[in-house]
Amino acid sequence: MTRKITGLILIGIGPFLLISGCEALYEAGVTGMAPFVDFEPRIREEEKHRKEYQEHGSPAALRWLLANRIQAGMSVAEVEKVLGQTATREFNDTWLKTKGGHYRSGDSTYKWGPDSEGRTLYLVFREGKLVNFNPRDYNDSL
């Protein structure tokens, strides 16, 4: 009898447990849970901001992408995919590395932009992964 009740409980809460982690999976780029969760609204929102940044250089769209889709540990290619723009390697980056932050001489700097207001985004990568990046820094309005 106890086994039967345990089985019924697992059947009842199993789908809830499965779906509850889907947002985190989506954020990590795993969309295999699509039959259980509708990712379409978030995907459309990301595409809207990417298109706005690509076509108009919108600072607000760039900030949204940085706050919601970019995270430490991403590769240059992953960041390029999110922003919809190819990066340019910035070799003259000593000014950035000595500004603060915890950068090393071997870190690589890449730039995107400029946006419609003439600002260029610089991100630093160590061993191919984005470092010293906090999405919360981009949550504030312009």
Nearest to 88 by CA among 65, 105, 113: 113
pTM (two decimals): 0.70
Instruction: Quote the percentage of the chain above a pLDDT of 70.
Output: 70
pLDDT of amino acid 27: 52
Asked if 49 contacts 120 with a C-beta cutoff of 8 angstroms, the reply is no
Query: Which domains, from first to last, does the chain contain?
Result: 1-37 (no CATH), 38-138 (3.30.1450)
Mean pLDDT confidence for 25-33: 51
Tokens of 77: 């290619």
Question: Per residue in 52-72, pLDDT tens?
Answer: 999 999 999 999 999 999 999
Distance CA 69, CA 43 (A): 11
Question: Per residue in 67-86, pLDDT tens?
Answer: 999 999 999 999 999 999 99
DSSP secondary structure, the chain, as one string: -HHHHHHHHHHHHHHHHHHHTHHHHHHTT--TTTTTS--HHHHHHHHHHHHHHHHH--HHHHHHHHHHT--TT--HHHHHHHHTS--EEES--HHHHTSSS---TT-EEEEE---TTS--EEEEEETTEE-S--GGGG-S--
Nearest to 133 by CA among 106, 105, 109, 113: 109
pLDDT of amino acid 110: 98
